[in-house]
């Protein structure tokens, strides 16, 4: 039986590496990253608004998604990716790269503080997780065009 399973696994791995190697347009990658953020932010927002019971594990896995995105996001804005794919990225990103990098750093820092604090209760999260959402808005206000 294992003789059947191993080739299947190998094919899976090959397909997986092709998916990684095929370089998606940065506009696409950054939109997908923000979709991950939205997905992860949903339970966090529900917990903070007491629409969902607090769950430390769910909270932490959402924070880890924020951290992953914060880490990969800055690389998705090369010259030439200012338009296309219905991007909502504002021209300010390329005109004021320092300010954009700063806004990204604030998001990364707020996320790091929250992760290190390891929130165990809703009260903990109100103190250490809520500030992250100010950094979403802080960046969107200047660097995202919302319709
Ligand atoms: C450093 C800047 C920055 C930070 C911080 C940031 N965003 Fe964004 N976000 C953007 C930009 C720029 C876009 C538009 C990207 C594009 O369309 O190419 C965007 C797009 C989005 C989208 C639309 C995704 C889509 O295409 O469907 C959502 C949802 C979103 N952000 C949620 C959040 C949330 C929630 C947070 C905080 C937890 C956050 N963002 C933090 C810059 C940021």
Q: What is the pLDDT of residues 113-136, one digit of tens each?
A: 999 999 999 999 999 999 999 999
Q: Catalogue all structural domains in the chain, each as residue range(s) with its CATH number.
A: 24-143 (1.20.120.10)
Stretch 85-90: mean pLDDT, rounded?
97
CA torsion sign for 50, 51, 56, 58 is negative
Rounded to the nearest angstrom, the distance between the alpha carbon of 33 and the centre of ligand 1 is 8
Regarding the beta carbon of 132 and ligand 1, being less than 6 Å apart is answered yes
Q: Which protein residue's CA is at the shortest distance from atom 5 of ligand 1? A: 136
Q: At 3, is the pLDDT very low, low, confident or very high (cuts 50, 70, 90)? A: low
Please state, for a pLDDT cut of 90, what percent of the chain lies above it.
82
Which pLDDT score is estimated for 8?
Answer: 73
pLDDT by residue (tens digit) across 34-72?
Answer: 999 999 999 999 999 999 999 999 999 999 999 999 999
Query: Which residue in 102, 109, 103, 110 sits closest to 131, CA to CA?
Result: 110
Q: Which atom of ligand 1 is nearest to the CA of 138?
A: 5
pTM of the model: 0.88
Which residue's C-alpha comes closest to atom 6 of ligand 1?
A: 136
């Amino acid at each position: 039986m294992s003789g059947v399973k191993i080739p299947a696994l190998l094919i899976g791995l090959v397909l997986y590496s092709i998916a990684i190697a095929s370089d998606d347009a940065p506009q696409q990658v950054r939109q997908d990253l923000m979709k991950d953020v939205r997905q992860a932010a949903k339970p966090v927002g529900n917990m903070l608004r007491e629409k969902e019971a607090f769950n430390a594990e769910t909270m932490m896995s959402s924070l880890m998604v924020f951290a992953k995105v914060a880490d990969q996001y800055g690389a998705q804005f090369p010259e030439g990716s200012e338009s296309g794919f219905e991007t909502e990225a504002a021209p300010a990103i390329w005109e004021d790269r320092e300010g954009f990098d700063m806004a990204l750093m604030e998001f990364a820092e707020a996320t790091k503080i929250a992760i290190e604090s390891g929130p165990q209760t809703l009260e903990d999260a109100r103190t250490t997780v809520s500030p992250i959402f100010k950094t979403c808005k802080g960046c969107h206000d200047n660097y995202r065009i919302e319709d």
